Chains A and B, each alone.
Chain A
Amino acid sequence: MKAVAFYDVDGTLVSTNVVHAYAYFARNVPTISGKIKRSATLAVSLPFYAFADRLGRKFFNDVFYKNYEGINEDRLYVLGEELFEKVVRKRVFRDMVDLMKRSRAEGYAQVLVTGAISQLVRPLAAYLEVDAWFANELEVVNGVATGRLVPPVLAGPEKAAFVRRYAIEHGYDLNLCRAYADSASDIPMLCTVGRPVAVNPDSGLRATATAHDWPIIQAD
């Protein structure tokens, strides 16, 4: 492989995001009371999460992943597979699957770097047949999630540091590497590589991409 193409996942390769994933978990809690409690809490918290995301992806992660507290690790694994089959698979951007094929044919290693949790990313990574994938890990104590992420948490600047480390450790020239993302929170990661690409960008990323002449892709 001559270089690496790094991909953010939510919003870049699939039209789902971490909130969709948690909503699926909440709907599938085994008890009716638990289902109602988690779904209702999520619903009323959505404006707060939107605000938290504006304050920074790290702050968002700290408060959002608290929702997973108390969920059994095995259940997370099973629900991750289910979530992929029932929800995520049909929301994968076909254009990005084509793009990954062309990128692989060009000699680029395909690597996912995402802030989503590993249980959700594993089936998608297998489906996309990527060369490597890196996601956040939920801290698990005695088989139960604590609601905290295992540091270092992949988000914002940490993704950038990870991409740089990965390329250096594997002997890739960062100038030749590509990175794909949809959100302004990934600007640090995009700035790390020589060939950043904005995919269905939010307004913040669109403005940056436009100012710096980065390619902007519309994918569906």
Chain B
Amino acid sequence: MARPRPRITRDPNIEFIDDKSGPRVVHFGTRFREVSLPRGSRVIYPNPPMEPLGNVKAAIRYAINHPLEADPLYAQLRPGMKLTIAIDDISLPLPPMVLPDIRQLILTEILDLCAKNGVEDIHLIVAVCLHRHMTGPEVRRMVGEKIYNAYWPDRLYHDAEDADNIVEIGQTKYEEPVRLNRRAVESDLLIYVNVNLVPMDGGHKSVTVGLCDYKSVSMHHNTKVMHKCHSYMDPRHDKSELAKIVDRMGAIVDEKMNVFHIETALNNDMYGPALKHLGKHEASWSELDRLKFQASNAVLERVPEAARRKILESVPAPYGVIAVQAGKTEPVHQRILETSFKQYAVPVKGQCDVLVAGIPFISPYNVNSTLNPLLVQVMALGYLFNFYRGVPLIRKDGVMIIFHPCQEDFNRTHHPSYVEFYHRILSMGTNSRDIHKYEREFAENPDYIQMYRKGNAYHGVHPFYMWYWGDAGRAWVGKVIVCGAENPRVPKQLGWDWAPDFETAMDMARSHLGKSQPEVTLSHAPPIMVCDVEA
């Protein structure tokens, strides 16, 4: 078969590798790797960060005073009312943003307005659903010292396992129960403060998922629904069964509760000053960028893993706010999605045989923690695979080559049930349709429930959701090869292959595809992008 010919392009997002192209830089957990791609390979770069709003506080005030399809917030506040404000948890944005966090800015505006209107009965709830509860310092960082001192810990907690404080407000016509936090349901007004990082965030998902319990969330977080999703990042109902069910449940929320939704969109400026060069094309790096990269690489290669994580976690992301909308959930979400896609959407023509990607050190589920093997899996097949609209970036039965050291490193405080899932359940098989029968055992395990309720652990069932998240990708991709895996047992346990270096991985890919010159694409994410792929 003829080698794909390099095509001349002026598309700023697309670059084709030729003889003069140097290596491309990919994430390798807490380190980086330089990859020399075959000639003719395509590299897809995210859009540059959009210009942030000049005055975020003014934008917040404008949004809550001129909401979409709702009365202005001040008109909904009155003395003696019961108000609950729910906020997104630490899983957004990634990495945590430079202070002040957008949630703190919005909460400050809302609480000032409440004080002026005599509203005193106020609860803040971090909408964790089955995610881990945040620690005091994490909450303080997110909402600021003043708000933290006023509300922590009693009025900042959603406990999905507190049966007395979960209430069912109704069922959809498909008998999906909508079971939510009692305080939020019984409030005269629920304000939801969202941070939108990827297009599947926000909208009805904020309330119906963030504030629900296991019974409710299991209606859509299951293998059947995941297999019916063509892309989690495309919220159209014919593309995402998940979005369809969530919207159905959201309609019950709209009917039974008074929700004032505030959504925000961030640009993709995720690298702090020290790592700024990673967000640019390698070809445009200055000498200083190259020196910075070599210096940071030298340091990261020489220090232990825990120190590497500390170094990277200490660099917050200088995200800029690019939109704030408030009002009724659906129109607000629609506007935010439009802005989000302006930032994230990258038009791409043609699929590839081999998709190459680096896995970074952070995911929504391991902030201040380690990226364990299940999370590596969810980053590859759950997120990177799903960052598309139209058709997947990779052809059916194509090969995904990912870069990650793949250590069996679990945070026992945050991910206790992951350990059992990884060692016991994945030893029995990797097919979700076979292993989902163990889901209930984990969900009802009293030890994991206690660790979720009173510790900082993800709910016992969470590793199943992480595995289901990869279902659509697993069903589509023919082979996943982990390049540079330092513990080969990890890829094997995940049902993947491994290769010591990129050349070997490419040989394995060629052999699997039966093509001597497969079409190779490197997804240069992060920063996040959503490829609008035309087959």
In this complex, how many residues of chain B approach chain A with their Cβ under 8 Å: the count is 16
Most buried by A among B445, B447, B449, B450: B447
A contact patch SS: mixed
Query: Taking the complex as formed, is B236 at the interface, i.e. its CB lies under 8 A from any CB of chain A?
Result: no
**B406 sits at the interface (CB 8 A):** no
Q: Are B455 and A106 in contact (CB under 8 A)?
A: no
Name the one of B413, B448, B450 contacting A219, with C-beta atoms under 8 angstroms. B450
Q: Report B431-490 residues with CB < 8 Å from chain A CB.
A: 444-451, 453-455
Question: Is residue B419 contacting chain A, with contact meaning CB distance below 8 A?
Answer: yes
Inside 8 A of B496's CB, which chain A residues have their CB? none
* Complex contact B444–A102 (CB within 8 A): yes
Min CB gap B331→A, angstroms: 42
Q: How far is the CA of A107 from the CA of B447 in the complex (A)?
A: 14
Q: Which residue of B lies closest to A5 (CB)?
A: B446
- Closest Cβ of chain B to A144, distance in Å, is 42
User: How far apart are B417's CB and chain A's nearest CB, in angstroms?
Assistant: 8
Instruction: Provide the residues of chain A in CB contact with B410, threshold 8 Å.
Output: 213
CA distance A106 to B455 in the complex (A): 21
Q: Chain A residues with Cβ under 8 A from B327's Cβ?
A: none
Interfacial chain B residues near A106, Cβ < 8 Å: 444-446
B199 in contact (CB, < 8 A): no
| Docked-complex contact B450 and A217, CB < 8 angstroms | yes
A178 at the interface (CB under 8 A from B): yes
A213 touches B444 (CB 8 A): no
Q: Size range of the interface on A?
A: 10 to 19
- Is B412 interfacial (CB-CB < 8 Å)? yes
- A215 contact from B444, B451, B453, Cβ within 8 A: B451
Report the minimal beta-carbon distance from B441 to chain A, rounded to whole angstroms: 8
- A213 touching B450 in the complex, CB below 8 Å, given contacts A102-B444, A106-B444: no
* Residues of B389-419 whose CB lies within 8 A of A: 410, 412-413, 416, 419
Q: In the complex, which of the residues B412, B447, B448, B455 contacts A210, with contact meaning CB atoms closer than 8 Å? A: B412
- Nearest B residue to A103 via CB reads B446
In this complex, what residue of B is CB-closest to A96?
B450
Contacts of A213 in B (CB 8 A): 410, 412, 416, 419
Interface pair A197/B447, CB less than 8 Å apart: yes
Contacts of A217 in B (CB 8 A): 447, 450-451, 454-455
Residues of B within 8 A of A195 (CB): 447
Within 8 Å CB of A220, what residues of B?
Answer: 454
Q: A99 at the A/B interface (Cβ < 8 Å)? A: yes
On whether the beta carbons of A102 and B446 are closer than 8 Å, the reply is yes
Cα A197 to Cα B446 in complex, Å, equals 11
State how many angstroms separate the Cβ of B437 from the closest Cβ of chain A: 15
Query: In the complex, which residues 83-132 of chain A have their Cβ closer than 8 Å to any Cβ of chain B?
Result: 95, 98-100, 102-103, 105-106
Cα A103 to Cα B419 in complex, Å, equals: 20
**Does the CB pair B446–A219 fall under 8 Å?**
no
Residue in B412, B450, B453 with the greatest tally of chain A CB atoms within 10 Å: B450
Apart from the given pairs A99-B446, A217-B447, 10 other A-B contacts in the complex at a CB distance below 8 Å: A95-B453, A99-B447, A106-B445, A213-B412, A213-B416, A216-B413, A216-B455, A217-B451, A218-B455, A219-B450
Interface pairs A-B: 7 shortest CB-CB = A102-B446, A99-B446, A213-B419, A215-B447, A103-B446, A215-B416, A217-B450
10 pairs of residues in contact across A and B, judged by CB atoms under 8 Å: A178-B447, A197-B447, A210-B412, A215-B412, A215-B448, A216-B412, A216-B413, A216-B451, A217-B454, A218-B454
**Which B residues have a C-beta under 8 Å from some C-beta of A?**
410, 412-413, 416, 419, 444-451, 453-455
Q: A: which residues have CB within 8 A of B?
A: 95, 98-100, 102-103, 105-106, 178, 195, 197, 210, 213, 215-220
